[in-house]
Amino acid sequence: MQAFVMNGIGETGMSEKDRPQPGPNDAILKPTVALICTSDVHTVHGAIGERENLTLGHEAVGVVDEVGSEVERFSEGDRVVVGAITPEWGSPAAQDGHPSQSGGALGGWKFANEKDGVFAEYAHVNEADANLAHIPDGVTDEEAVYVCDMLSTGFAGAENAEIPMGGTVAVFAQGPVGLMATKGARLQGAGRVIAVESVPERQELAREYGADEIVDFEAVDPVERIHELTDGEGVDAAIEALGSEETLADCLAVTKPGGTVSNVGYYGEGETVDIPREAWGVGMAEKDIVTDLCPGGSVRLGRLLRLIDAGRVDPTHMTTHEFDFENIDEAFELMASKEDGVIKPLVRF
Ligand code: ZN
Instruction: Find the 176 Cα to ligand 1 centroid distance in Å.
Output: 10
At residue 68, the pLDDT reads 98
pTM: 0.97
Instruction: Find the 57 Cα to ligand 1 centroid distance in Å.
Output: 8
Determine how many CB atoms are found less than 10 A away from the CB of residue 343.
Answer: 20
Instruction: Find the 179 Cα to ligand 1 centroid distance in Å.
Output: 14
Determine how many CB atoms are found less than 10 A away from the CB of residue 213.
Answer: 16
**Quick one: which of 268, 288, 275, 210 has its CA closest to 245?**
275
As a whole number, mean pLDDT of residues 40-56 equals 93
Q: pLDDT digits over 201-254, tens only?
A: 999 999 999 999 999 999 999 999 999 999 999 999 999 999 999 999 999 999
Q: pLDDT digits over 259-315, tens only?
A: 999 999 999 888 999 999 999 999 999 999 999 999 999 999 999 999 999 999 999
Q: How far apart are CA 142 and CA 313, in angstroms?
A: 13
As a whole number, mean pLDDT of residues 176-186 equals 98
**pLDDT of 23 strictly over 90:** yes
SS3 labels along 121-172: CCEEECCHHHHEEECCCCCCHHHHHHHCCHHHHHHHHHHHCCCCCCCEEEEE
> 26 CB contacts (<8 Å, ≥6 apart)?
67, 68, 71, 124, 125, 126, 127, 128
Whether 84 contacts 26, CB under 8 Å:
no
Instruction: Find the 16 Cα to ligand 1 centroid distance in Å.
Output: 24
At residue 269, the pLDDT reads 82
Instruction: Find the 58 Cα to ligand 1 centroid distance in Å.
Output: 6
At residue 270, the pLDDT reads 86
Alpha helix positions (H), the chain: 38-44, 92-95, 128-131, 141-144, 150-160, 176-187, 200-208, 222-229, 245-254, 298-309, 328-337
As a whole number, mean pLDDT of residues 168-185 equals 98
Instruction: Find the 39 Cα to ligand 1 centroid distance in Å.
Output: 6
At residue 64, the pLDDT reads 98
Instruction: Find the 294 Cα to ligand 1 centroid distance in Å.
Output: 9
Instruction: Find the 151 Cα to ligand 1 centroid distance in Å.
Output: 10
**Quick one: which of 87, 81, 100 has its CA closest to 34?**
81
Q: How far apart are CA 30 and CA 146, in angstroms?
A: 17
As a whole number, mean pLDDT of residues 64-71 equals 98
Instruction: Find the 178 Cα to ligand 1 centroid distance in Å.
Output: 12
Whether 213 contacts 234, CB under 8 Å:
no
Residue type, 251: C
Q: pLDDT digits over 70-124, tens only?
A: 999 999 999 999 999 999 999 999 999 999 999 889 999 999 999 999 999 999 9
Chain-centroid distance, C-alpha 172 = 15
| Length of the chain (residues) | 349
